[in-house]
Amino acid sequence: MKRGKKSFLLVVGLIGLMAMLIMTACGQKASTPSEPAKSPDKIYKWDFLIHVPATQIYGTYFIDMANAIKEKSNGRLDIVVRPPSELPYKGEDYLRVCGEGSVQMADATIGYIAGTSRIITIPTLPFFSSSVEQFTNAMEKMKPYAKSELEKFGCASLGWYLDPPQTFFGKGTPVKKIADLKGRKVRTYAPEQQVFLKKVGAVAVSMSASEVAAAAGRGVIDSLIASGFGVDGFKWDEFFNWSYYLNYNMSGAYILVNSAALAELPADLRTILEQTVAETTKKMQADIIAVEEKALSDLQTRGMTVFRPGSEVAAEGAAMMKDYWESWAKEGGPEIEKAFNEIRQIVGK
């Protein structure tokens, strides 16, 4: 009996060895406990944390994107869009929680994550990029630096999209020149925005979008930095009745994905994800300026006064900030200074 059992085990072992050799010869890789095969039938359910309400135009883009991915993947990649306040995270947390895997994707506004990642902020420095073209060129030059930086947090970028120019809104006596900002309590959302305000004698109050309405209602702020699109989407004109439409800084957001979650996807699902995000951001880039002008028009229809200063005012702001840009970059270390100087050449500042 013992001899028969040993012969049986030997035959089984030889059959297993032959199977592995056949798989290798056919170009297939055998599964191992340390690297499980990716099942073509597995359903991947992800959370996508966004920074705007689902009803705002960006929110509708993202919902359409998630629906398209689900349809193209036959339900195998199911992305649930999570607007602010649905999960217990502020905009400032998005890079961290995505990297940790608390969510698989995040719509991370650059200004919000500036306190976490300094280098990513460069294209959004106050008065640094003064047009959509300059900002787009700066973001393209930024790509290798952003890739390296995001990897440190356990994230990758699926793409980025443009926000409209960030400018000033407020209540009370309208601002019509930079000096009129003195004494204003201005909501900011990035550390770098505060420096200019201090230079002109304004009070900078840092907060994310979800905190603005309560702060405005209590008088904690009487002005804010945002886009017309943002003010219209959040219905903040309930609190603010004028805009000093100065291109204070350009802004944008990265669509982040957790690196480990991305690596887990089968190749076909990864392709669907990447291609659909690329299609969505391309459409957003093409539409956003028209969306901004429509938002401003709607705000004016509802009673907001919009004052547009000349381009010389933006040049005045840039002159005030150049020393700060340079010291900011130097303080960040050699890599940030190198990136800053390369991008500065691109934007011509």
Q: Which domains does the chain possess?
A: 44-347 (3.40.190.170)
- C-alpha dihedral (115, 121, 124, 127), degrees to nearest 10: 90
The predicted model gives 67-72 an average pLDDT of: 98
For 93-109, how does the pLDDT look when each residue is reduced to its tens digit (9 = 90+)? 999 999 999 999 999 99
- CA distances for 248 relative to 197, 260, 314, 317, angstroms: 11, 37, 7, 8
Predicted local confidence at residue 130, as pLDDT:
83
- pLDDT at 78 exceeding the cut of 70: yes
Angle 132-152/334-347 helices, nearest 10 degrees?
160
- pLDDT at 31 exceeding the cut of 70: no
**What is the percent of the chain with per-residue pLDDT over 90, rounded to a whole number?**
77
**Model confidence band, residue 341 (pLDDT cutoffs 50, 70, 90):** very high
- pLDDT at 58 exceeding the cut of 80: yes
Q: How far apart are CA 250 and CA 288, in angstroms?
A: 13
Report the 3 state secondary structure along 29-91: CCCECCECCCCCCCCEEEEEECCCCCCCHHHHHHHHHHHHHHHHCCCCEEEEEECECCECCCH
Q: How many CB atoms lie within 10 A of CB 311?
A: 11
Tokens of 49: 């944390």
Predicted local confidence at residue 208, as pLDDT:
85
Q: How many CB atoms lie within 10 A of CB 194?
A: 18
The predicted model gives 225-249 an average pLDDT of: 94
By three-state DSSP, how is residue 221 classified? coil
For 201-220, how does the pLDDT look when each residue is reduced to its tens digit (9 = 90+)? 999 999 988 899 999 999 99
For 162-210, how does the pLDDT look when each residue is reduced to its tens digit (9 = 90+)? 998 899 999 999 999 999 999 999 999 888 899 999 999 999 999 988 8
Q: How far apart are CA 48 and CA 348, in angstroms?
A: 36
- pLDDT at 124 exceeding the cut of 80: yes
Mean pLDDT over all residues of the chain? 89
- pLDDT at 42 exceeding the cut of 60: yes
